[in-house]
Structure 1
């Protein structure tokens, strides 16, 4: 594994006259995320409503609990979900919502935005706080708060999108956070680690991907975070957080049975630097079909073990995380 440094992210998504900044993989985030050059009119059939997608995803991992949380502006509709898996009790608690035109036309997706969605008695709210984020959910039977602390500049990827302007994502892995849960009358507070995924772009009308977000340690005690994607983004967003370093990874290969997603997965990079077995303990799935939009989404969560090749030799790695199979028409 080479310890190559990623170039700094461009200051803006646009490079003048509506031209997209150079495609590639960068260290740091893009701060000017204006999509006005591509969004067209403010009507229901504008690119802003029909093509542009933005979301914030947060994951948290402890030896007992796994948490997934997302709020998404999909143009014609907004969606959100949260789940908590109690490994000790083998219990999954989940809430979700779909709200037509849930975000205003002038909503500008950003890590600095105030993301809120209500669905009945369920309330999702994620906002920046200090150098991190305050992420909350409240519904009968479940209250959740994740206080994320910033952990470095993160990784930006910008890729082409056939027939559409571009696709962009910013990821942070191995983030320290404080997790507070109030579930079934019991309150739990724990330190945890987790991941953040901010995405803003214009994905292809038909989109497929596999994704893995892994959080763990090496056998010599280094914190490791991994983000891998296949079939999407041209491999630009494959990266690893190892200690205080952010390192690029090669193309990702996902080997699993699509008909048996709770069987073990093998996830590795084409150059053999990372090779892990992921063993699901449960899954969160959803099948949405609303007008022009459809999404078939499955996110198994569980444990991983494997090896990492470094300049110091091969090291064993282990931890927790999620993998994903996603088919979308949007």
Structure 2
């Protein structure tokens, strides 16, 4: 590696741990991020019945001070700023997630995925290389509290995303993810190319081709069409609402929107050709640009 790249390497090192909890009545998204230049965290709860955010927390902090994060996938990750705290803690065969913020409180146990059902990818990215680990549908237990309500996590489906790598100063992507015990998918167009595009069918993890996201960036709550070149994925996404954020911290910036909604369409087994129907599967899409 050239000396200049070696000096810049710590600033290009990006790590994050993300969890999604999808339920018939709500959707929860939470992440801890170490972006080299800056660290951040967010947590939100979207009420699917009212189609509104009941709770939303977001904060930034200094790297190495606000955030502590293990390099192993699905390991410990903590963000703390004052009394606001988000923490993932690895404990045997589960990940313990706690959120203690003014907007949202949560205590949950997430079952860790089996190795054979974990998407694990290392691939060239837009600066050097990036690794990601993503789970299929996971069991979850616990509760969340916000807006004067206490919500049981019984019946929710969890999924995890642990990413770690060396990315360019400017990085952008489109992403879609949704899971049930019978099927699920992770699709991305951007810095990783098609390396992390995969579907889960009856517990089997299968690679699929490059993904295309057809949507109106000016109207992200209009329906999306997502498909892959190999015909394995053909989905319509119907947003119910979204969480978005635009940040400019001078040395870093982020613009993204993450619509929450349902997917309908077809997943086809790449080898057998068997079609699996997707019907109102709860999940998210994302359009993200980062300068970090």
Q: TM-score, normalised by structure 1?
A: 0.80
- Residue 150 of structure 2, aligned match among 181, 187, 194: 187
1:131/1:205 CA distance change after superposition, 3 Å: same
Q: Does 1:254 align with 2:213?
A: yes
Q: Could you tell me which residue of structure 2 aligns to residue 269 of structure 1? A: 228
The one of 50, 60, 69 aligned to 1:89: 50
Query: Hey, what's the Cα distance between the residues in 2 that align with 1:146 and 1:253?
Result: 34
Q: Provide the C-alpha distance between the structure 1 equivalents of 2:74 and 2:259, rounded to a whole number of angstroms.
A: 29
* Residue in 1 that maps onto 2:187: 228
Secondary structure of the equivalent of 1:316?
strand
Asked which structure has the greater CA Rg, the reply is 1
Q: For 2:197 and 2:148, how far apart are their aligned partners in 1? A: 40
In structure 1, stretches of 5+ residues that fail to align are 1-17, 19-37, 217-221
TM-score, normalization by structure 2: 0.90
Aligned-partner SS, 1:47: helix
Say yes or no: does 1:79 pair with 2:40. yes
- Residues 251-284 of structure 1 show CA distances to partners (whole Å, capped at 9, x for unaligned) of 1111001111010000111111111100111111
**SS of aligned partner of 2:112:** coil
Q: Which runs of 4+ in 1 moved over 3 A?
A: 102-108
The answer to whether 1:62 aligns with 2:23 is yes
Question: Hey, what does 1:213 align to over in structure 2?
Answer: 177
Given that 2:32 and 2:41 are in contact with CA atoms closer than 8 Å, whether structure 1 keeps it comes out as yes
Structure 1 178/135 Cα, relative in aligned 2: closer, same or farther at 3 Å?
same
**Does the aligned pair in 1 maintain the 2:69–2:77 contact within 8 Å?**
no
- Counterpart of 1:27 in structure 2 is none
Say which of 188, 203, 214 aligns to 1:244: 203
Question: Which range is displaced more, 59-68 or 105-114?
Answer: 105-114
What is the aligned counterpart of 1:307 among 266, 280, 283? 266
Aligned length: 283
Question: 3-state DSSP class of the match of 1:98?
Answer: strand
Match of 2:105 in 1: 143
Unaligned runs of 5+ in 2: none
Q: Distance in 2 between matches of 1:205 and 1:174?
A: 32
In 1, Cα distance between the equivalents of 2:142 and 2:205? 25
Q: Distance in 1 between matches of 2:31 and 2:244?
A: 13
Is 1:129 the equivalent of 2:91?
yes
Residue aligning to 1:292: 251
Alignment partners' CA distance in 1, 2:74 and 2:197: 24
Q: Distance in 1 between matches of 2:34 and 2:103?
A: 26
Equivalence for 1:12: none
Contact in 2 for aligned 1:111/1:128 (Cα 8 Å): no
Name the SS of the counterpart of 1:233 in structure 2: coil
CA 1:150–1:233: 2 relative to 1, 3 Å: same
Q: Please, which moves more after superposition, 317-326 or 141-150?
A: 141-150
Contact kept in structure 1, 2:85 and 2:101, CA below 8 Å: yes
Match of 1:201 in 2: 165
SS at match of 1:175: coil
